[in-house]
């Protein structure tokens, strides 16, 4: 059994690909990903994130191979849950980039959006002209949906 993952160091356990396998996106690992995927207008990071979101196996495999701690032996012949594996790789990237897991960063971004919507709704409510305009638009949509 290997050592446990150290979240503070950006480590994530990947037992799906081998006992005790940990990934950590060091500067060298990020540089290897950059070299492999920085050949389009999106840039390497968006290409990798799109590949992980799209469950692209070449991207998943490249991320694991370049980030395996201490060059641990990775067994790609095992049956994996691709969704869980992609999420763990995203966690590893986000821990290094944002010091938060993917889910934690997503929750922060969603809260920011909700706060912005709330702020704008307060602005609209405070301005009688804007409030009347929004009310008219909502009435028009309601009438269209009922008709």
Instruction: Tell me the DSSP string of 51-101.
Output: HHHTT-HHHHHHHHHHHBGGG----TTS---HHHHHHHHHHHHHHHHHSS-
pLDDT at residue number 147? 59
The encoded tokens of residue 91 equal 């966690």
pTM for this structure? 0.74
- Is residue 8's pLDDT more than 60? yes
Higher pLDDT pick, 141 / 67: 67
Computed over every residue of the chain, the mean pLDDT equals 87
If we measure between CA atoms, which residue out of 46, 48, 55, 5 comes closest to residue 29? 48
* pLDDT per residue as tens digits for the range 11-51: 999 988 888 889 999 999 999 999 999 887 889 999 999 99
* pLDDT per residue as tens digits for the range 78-123: 767 888 899 999 999 999 989 999 989 899 999 999 999 999 888 8
Please check whether residue 25 is in contact with residue 9, taking contact to mean a CB–CB distance below 8 angstroms. Answer: no
Q: Where are the domains of the chain?
A: 7-99, 106-146
């Amino acid at each position: 059994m290997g050592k446990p993952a150290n979240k503070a160091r950006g480590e994530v356990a990947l037992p799906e690909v081998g006992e005790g396998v940990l990934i950590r996106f060091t500067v060298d690992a990020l540089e290897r990903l950059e070299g492999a995927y920085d050949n389009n207008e999106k840039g390497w990071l968006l290409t990798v994130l799109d590949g992980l979101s799209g469950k692209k196996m070449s991207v998943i495999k490249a991320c694991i191979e370049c980030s395996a701690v201490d060059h641990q032996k990775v067994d790609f012949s095992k049956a994996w849950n691709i969704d869980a594996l992609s999420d763990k790789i995203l966690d590893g990237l986000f821990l290094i980039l944002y010091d938060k897991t993917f889910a934690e960063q997503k929750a922060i971004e969603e809260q920011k959006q909700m706060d912005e919507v709330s702020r704008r709704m307060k602005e609209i409510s405070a301005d009688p002209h804007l409030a009347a305009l929004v009310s008219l638009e909502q009435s028009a949509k309601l009438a269209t949906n009922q008709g």
